[in-house]
Amino acid sequence: MADRAACGGGCAGGVDIDLQMAFQPIVDLPERRIHGYEALVRGPNGEGAAWVLAQVTDANRYAFDQACRVKAIESAASLGLDRRLGINFMPNAVYHPEACLRLTLAAAAEHGFPPELITFEFTEDERIGDHAHITAIIETYRRHGFITALDDFGAGFAGLSLLADFQPDKIKIDRHLVTNIDADRPRQAIVQGLVVTAKVLGISLVVEGVERPQERDCLLDLGIGQFQGYLFARPAIGRLVAEDEISW
C-alpha cells in the first residue's frame, strides 16, 4: 500500500490535514479504453501515501477510513467521473460492514455519484487475522452492488491462502510479479497460473506497476487485458487523465 490510500482532508480522530486526490487510469488494452480510475492520496504539497498513512493510528483508523471514502467520492463526482472508481479501504477499520457503508452511500447520494461504479480495494499488505470478517465485508458490499478487489496481490502476507478463504470480484497483481516478467520464467509461470485460477473462480485480473512495453506485451500474451502503470499514465492530482493522453 506504499502508493495507495484514499483519504480526505479533515479526517476525524486527530488526522486533520488538507489532502489532495490523484487519479490513475486503469486501461482495457484490447478495447483501447479507460476502464476506470483508482483514487490515490497525496499530501498538501504532493506528499505520497506513505506520508499520509504515517498520520494514522489505532485511535483514528475508523474515522480516517470513513473520511477517505467520502473524499474519494466527492472528488470523483466533482471531476465528472463516469467510469469505475477504485477506493482503498482498511479491512481492520471496518467494525460492522453494514454500518460502515452508511456514510459511503450517503456521500454517493449527496454528490450524485452512482454507487454501482464503486470498486472497494483492500490490500493483502495489511495483515488480516479474521478471514470470516473479511468474507462478511465482501458479501455485504456485494449485496449493495459494490465490487471488491484484492489489491497488491503477490506482495503481502497471505497470497493464495487468502484467496482460498474468500474470493473478491477482482485481483490486482502487484508490481513485484510484473517487473521484468518478459525475461523471468518463474514470474511468467506464476502469472499464467493466476490467469487460469481467476478464470475458474470467475475473478477478473488487473496488472499493476507496468512500466515497460516488453512487460505489457508479455502480459498480453499471458491473457491479461487490464493494466495500470506508468507506461500508460501517471496519477494526476485533481484531474482525470483523458483517453487521448494514454500511451497505448
Catalytic residues: 208
Taking the C-alpha atoms of residue 100 and residue 92, their distance in angstroms, rounded to an integer, is 12
Q: What is the 3-state secondary structure (H, E, C) of 140-158?
A: HHHHCCCEEEEEEECCCCC
Best CA proximity match to 241, nearest among 24, 15, 21, 4: 24
Half-sphere exposure at residue 99, Cβ-oriented, CA atoms within 13 angstroms: 6
Characterize the bridge pairing of strands 170-173 and 147-153: parallel
Neighbouring residues of 220: CB distance < 8 A, sequence distance ≥ 6: 29
Query: Which cell numbers hold the place of 46?
Result: 504532493
Best CA proximity match to 89, nearest among 65, 108, 113: 65
Taking the C-alpha atoms of residue 195 and residue 142, their distance in angstroms, rounded to an integer, is 23
- 8 Å CB contact between 104 and 73: yes
Which residues partner with 227 through β-bridges? 27, 207
Report CA dihedral (63, 132, 168, 208) to the nearest 10 degrees: 60
